[in-house]
Amino acid sequence: MRVCYRDELFDAQFLRTLSHSCYGGADVAECWNAARQIPEKDVSRWFEVWMELAARVQADAERSRKLARKISAREGFLRASNYYRNAYVFLFSEQQEPELRSFGPGHVAACHFPLQTPAARETLTPSAASAQASDG
C-alpha cells in the first residue's frame, strides 16, 4: 500500500517517521508538509528538508526549555531527534561523519528530562542508564 511516494524505500521511510506520531515522535502535518517539498527519489532534497524541519523544531524546543515549558520542550526534542534520524536515513555508510556519531537533540532531551522509573522510584540520567545497562 502506497502512502506518499511511488518509490517503496522512500515511502517506507516516510511511513516510518509518520508512524512515530502516535507516540509524540512526529507531527502528522509537519511530516506531510516536508514530504510535499521532496521530489521522488531525491536523496539530497530529502536530507535538506528533514534537516530544516528538525532544526526548526529543535529551536522551538530550546525556546520552550528556556521558558521552563518542560512538556513542550520534551515533545519538541523528541520530534527533532526523529526528524534528524530521518534526514540521515539514506546517507548512512561505513565512513560516517563525526556529527553522525554524536547524541544529538534526543540526548539533550534526556539530560533535561530524566526518566522516572515507576518500579524503582529513581531517576535515571543518560549516563546512569548507560552504566546500568553495562552492569547487567
Residue 119 inside a domain? The answer is yes
Residue 23 inside a domain? The answer is yes
Determine the structural domain holding residue 122 and report its residue range: 8-92+100-135
Residue 31 inside a domain? The answer is yes
Residue 58: per-residue pLDDT: 96
Residue 3 inside a domain? The answer is no
72, 64 contact by CB (below 8 A): yes
Residue 88 sits in a domain of what CATH number? Answer: 1.20.1440.110
The string of pLDDT tens digits covering residues 48-106 is 999 999 999 999 999 999 999 999 999 999 999 999 999 988 886 544 455 544 444 44
Residue 50 inside a domain? The answer is yes
The count of domains in the chain is 1
How would residue 122 be classed by pLDDT, with cut points 50, 70 and 90? very low
Residue 1 inside a domain? The answer is no
